[in-house]
Amino acid sequence: MDTAVRPATVRTRVTVPLEFPDWYATTAEVFTFTGLADGREHLALALGEWRSALDGGVPLVRPHSECLTGDVFGSQRCDCGPQLREAVERIAGEGGFLLYLRQEGRGIGLYAKLDAYALQDSGLDTYEANLALGRGEDERDYSAAAQMLRALGADRIRLLSNNPDKALQLDALGVQVVGRVPTGVHLTEENAAYLSAKVSHTHHTLALPA
């Protein structure tokens, strides 16, 4: 994380109607950017009355790391797909931004994430599996997210996330997190161990049943 990242600028803005498999629909203003610190093609989806949230309040923001298996294919091994669906509706209701960040597998990439899944099948948790591959427990960097928010004029936000590291990084990068809003608990039989590891290892704010 580079706390002195240079400013980014908005590259393109386009209106995209959204519809989810459960028929929930809304419209997003999708922004692309020039000058992002990691050079990746991250997106910001402006939802609901986002202009009013910027002008007269504090927008609700979720930095959502890409998860092809969960977001697209509905994998039950994580809670990413349900969190994405929940975030879009909640942000659309209050006004704010969903940042779709191309940081698959906590930043280690799609193939490595699937390699980590294979190790989890042998008994390692999600963090232990990343380390066993010679990678960091969580390699995600929110420098680009901070650049995107500042380019959109959102230097004060309410953060829709269970992950305390996101708040710490964004604060250090000059985006003031004035409140943290947890997402719901999307527990399945297949992701129970994964969610438990997030609570015990990185102190995610998930109210899991005993």
How many Cβ atoms sit within 10 Å of the Cβ of residue 160?
25
CB 95 within 8 A of CB 60: yes
Given the residues 138, 150, 156, 165, the one annotated as active site: 138
φ/ψ of 180, rounded to 5, equals -110, 130
- Tell me, yes or no, if 71 is annotated catalytic: no
* Helix (H) or strand (E) segment spanning residue 93: helix 80-94
**DSSP one-letter string for 144-165:** HHHHHHHHTT--EEEEE-S-HH
Give how far Cα 174 sits from Cα of 64, 157, 158, 169, Å. Answer: 19, 11, 14, 9
State how far the Cα of 19 lies from the Cα of 116, in Å rounded to an integer: 31
Residue whose structure tokens are 């992701």? 191
- Tell me, yes or no, if 141 is annotated catalytic: no
- Length of the chain (residues): 210
CB 201 within 8 A of CB 127: yes
Q: What residue type is 22 in one-letter code?
A: D
Given the residues 62, 106, 140, 158, the one annotated as active site: 140
Q: Which of 94, 8, 108, 85 is nearest to 47 (CA)?
A: 94
Catalytic residues: 138, 140
